[in-house]
Amino acid sequence: MTLLATVFDLDDTLVDSAATWNQVIRTVAARHDHVWTRADWAAIQGTSTWGTYLAERCRGLTPERAVSECVDGMVDAIARGAFGMLPGAAELVALAAELGPVGLVSASPRRYVRAAASASGLMRHVQVIVTGDDVTNGKPAPDPYLLAARKLGLDPAHCLAVEDSGSGIRSAHAAGMTVLAIPNATTARDAEVLKLAAHQASDARVAAKEICQLWVNVYALSR
């Protein structure tokens, strides 16, 4: 199937935000009498229900307020330059934009996604953004990637999804997209999830080479 567009996850695929997210959530949890642990952090990876998870463990905190306080912290971190793009990620997105339309699909809230994408210079390359606020069923359900394909005006089968998390890979695969995985440390140990990815890369620089080869193959098959 001919690939016509590339759709990227944001956190830990393009931006090096994991440590900052973890610290911000830990701070919010402590403010509401919960000690945030490694197990808590692992439990919310790549999900859109993390606000509910946090609220259930904190005193006097609703899911909406949990998300709002965490996003406040992340937007402040962006303004302070606390984190930026992963090595090679800017070049990867620019390359994808030369080949076709580009989308972002993130489980994170819209306010944070737009702030991070703007600060990192991604907005000039991106035609479509889908956030955790835009769907009822987030990753690992296929809904976010299906919505991105609809916004791009394409069949999901014509889209390449670039993801790092297990829930993201499952979401894109379930939507019918070809998946290029740049596995995070947890995903790299999940053989069942990695079977769903048609292609793998160790980092954004290697992913750029993979994308180039994919489009070369598509061009050759179309001749």
Q: Return mean pLDDT, the chain.
A: 93
Q: Which is more confidently placed, 45 or 206?
A: 206
pLDDT the model gives residue 48? 78
Q: Are residues 91 and 172 in the same domain?
A: yes
| Mean pLDDT, residues 156-169 taken together | 95
Look at residues 36, 56, 79 and tell me which one is the last residue of a structural domain: 79
| Mean pLDDT, residues 19-38 taken together | 96
Q: What is the DSSP string of 147-209?
A: HHHHHHTS-GGGEEEEE-SHHHHHHHHHTT-EEEE---TTGGG-HHHHTT-SEE-SSHHHHHH
In 3D space, the residue among 172, 125, 154, 146 whose CA is nearest the CA of residue 1 turns out to be: 154
In 3D space, the residue among 8, 211, 13 whose CA is nearest the CA of residue 102 turns out to be: 8
Q: Are residues 133 and 162 in the same domain?
A: yes
Query: Which domain covers residue 132, as residue numbers?
Result: 5-16+84-222
Q: Are residues 28 and 11 in the same domain?
A: no
C-alpha 215/C-alpha 119 separation (Å) is 29
- Axis crossing angle, helix 63-79 with helix 18-31, rounded to the nearest 10: 130
Q: What is the DSSP string of 79-92?
A: HTT---BPTTHHHH
Report pLDDT digits (tens) over 103-140.
999 999 999 999 999 999 999 999 999 999 999 999 99
C-alpha 108/C-alpha 218 separation (Å) is 32
pLDDT the model gives residue 217? 63
Look at residues 79, 108, 128 and tell me which one is the last residue of a structural domain: 79
Q: Are residues 43 and 92 in the same domain?
A: no
Domain count across the chain: 2
pLDDT at 220 over 70: no
> Following CA atoms 160, 125, 91, 203 in sequence, which dihedral angle do they give, to the nearest 10 degrees?
-40
Report pLDDT digits (tens) over 67-79.
999 999 999 999 9
pLDDT at 163 over 90: yes
pLDDT at 221 over 70: no
